[in-house]
């Protein structure tokens, strides 16, 4: 794949890990326990993977949907992709783990670097990119007839990983714990995954993603089908997971972006033109002191 010149309209974000303070936009809406966790979370990112998109331009057939999008998603951070419907957020997310190429008419230019290595390098296996960069979708998609335990272990089969029963038991417990679901399901691991509530199913999907030890977790509107309580639980889970995996989330919920993310990128596609990143940087700055009037209008709910 050809790398294009890095000349996007983005404002400069840095790779530094920053101390997270309450977001001024609407601090009263940020639940105390989540805010407490944010303050505790001053992660170094050490040992975690960074993801860098450089000069991404994407098409579906003749339709160019993204133009020269560059974004660094620092190791150990949560990066939120925000913007109105149709501006290319999901397409960008899917490019980050090579799912874009599943669409027959899809094409792209640019590079995606996982810790400096291009995931589109022809020498790299597709399955490795998808294993290292996991995805959680908008609609929870557990295998409904499989048990909770089998759901968590499903990725091992796909990646051809062998493990003893004891190792699998440990893995099931640790993934369900990290997915914030263990206490609710530990006594019914053999019950079907399809019998869980929507929020529980989404946390099962997160646990399933974790079982193959991704270095990055992509989440495409993971709470849009969930009630506020389930949403809160998933957000807490995300904040805890960010200790061990770099997270990129697409969300339409500005309060959610403010609550959970360290970094934010605002995508926009003006009428008939491909999506670009108008502004990106620390979430606190994006919400409290946006540099572009369009960002200010969007984060304050004036359009989109």
- List interacting residues with ligand ATP (CB under 6 A): 60, 65, 83, 85-91, 103
Q: Which is nearer to ligand ATP, 181 or 254 (CB)?
A: 254
Dihedral pair phi/psi, residue 247, rounded to 5°: -120, 140
Burial 130-154 (b: 16+ CB within 10 A, else e): bbbbbbbeeebebeeebbbbbbbbb
Supply the minimum distance, in Å, between the C-beta of residue 277 and ligand ATP.
12
Residues 248 and 216 sit within 8 Å (Cβ to Cβ): yes
Supply the minimum distance, in Å, between the C-beta of residue 84 and ligand ATP.
7
Say how far apart CA 260 and CA 79 lie, in whole Å. 9
Query: What secondary structure does DSSP assign to 64-117, as a single string?
Result: EEEEEEEEEE-TT-EEEEE-STTSSHHHHHHHTTT-GGGSTTEEEEEEEEETTE
Supply the minimum distance, in Å, between the C-beta of residue 164 and ligand ATP.
41
Supply the minimum distance, in Å, between the C-beta of residue 224 and ligand ATP.
9
Supply the minimum distance, in Å, between the C-beta of residue 269 and ligand ATP.
7
Q: Which is nearer to ligand ATP, 71 or 87 (CB)?
A: 87
DSSP state of 29: G
Supply the minimum distance, in Å, between the C-beta of residue 192 and ligand ATP.
29
Query: 267: helix, coil or strand?
Result: strand
Q: Strand 106-114: give its sheet, edge to edge.
A: 63-73, 51-60, 106-114, 117-118
Residues 146 and 192 sit within 8 Å (Cβ to Cβ): yes
Q: Which is nearer to ligand ATP, 111 or 220 (CB)?
A: 220
Supply the minimum distance, in Å, between the C-beta of residue 172 and ligand ATP.
32
Query: 118: helix, coil or strand?
Result: strand
Which residues make Cβ contacts (< 8 Å) with residue 15, sequence separation at least 6?
A: 50, 72, 74
Q: Which is nearer to ligand ATP, 103 or 145 (CB)?
A: 103
Residues 142 and 204 sit within 8 Å (Cβ to Cβ): yes
Q: Which is nearer to ligand ATP, 28 or 102 (CB)?
A: 102
Q: Which is nearer to ligand ATP, 36 or 86 (CB)?
A: 86
Say how far apart CA 15 and CA 70 lie, in whole Å. 13
Q: Which is nearer to ligand ATP, 74 or 83 (CB)?
A: 83
């Amino acid at each position: 794949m050809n790398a294009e010149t890095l000349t996007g309209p983005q404002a400069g974000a840095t790779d530094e890990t920053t101390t997270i303070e309450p977001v001024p936009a609407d601090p009263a809406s940020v639940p105390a326990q989540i805010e407490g966790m944010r303050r505790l979370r001053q992660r170094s990112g050490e040992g975690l993977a960074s993801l860098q998109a450089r000069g991404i331009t994407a098409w579906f057939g003749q339709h160019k949907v993204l133009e020269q999008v560059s974004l660094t998603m620092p190791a150990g951070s949560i990066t939120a992709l925000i913007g109105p419907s149709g501006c290319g957020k999901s397409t960008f997310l899917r490019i980050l783990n090579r799912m874009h190429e599943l669409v027959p008419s899809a094409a792209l230019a640019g590079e995606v670097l996982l810790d400096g290595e291009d995931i589109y390098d022809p020498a790299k296996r597709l399955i490795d990119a998808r294993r290292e960069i996991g995805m959680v979708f908008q609609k929870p998609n557990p295998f409904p007839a499989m048990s909770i335990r089998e759901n968590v272990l499903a990725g091992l089969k796909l990646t051809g990983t062998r493990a003893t029963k004891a190792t699998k038991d440990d893995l099931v417990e640790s993934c369900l714990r990290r997915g914030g679901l263990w206490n609710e399901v530990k006594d019914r691991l053999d019950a079907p995954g399809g019998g869980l509530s929507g929020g529980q199913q989404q946390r099962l999907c997160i646990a399933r993603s974790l079982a193959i030890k991704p270095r990055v977790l992509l989440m495409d509107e993971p709470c849009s089908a969930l009630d506020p309580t389930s949403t809160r639980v998933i957000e807490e889970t995300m904040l805890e997971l960010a200790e061990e995996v770099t997270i990129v989330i697409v969300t339409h919920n500005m309060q959610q972006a403010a609550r959970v993310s360290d970094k934010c990128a605002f995508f926009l596609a003006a009428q008939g033109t491909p999506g670009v990143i108008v502004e990106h940087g620390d979430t606190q700055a994006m919400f409290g002191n946006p540099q572009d009037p369009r960002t200010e209008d969007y984060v304050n709910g004036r359009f989109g």
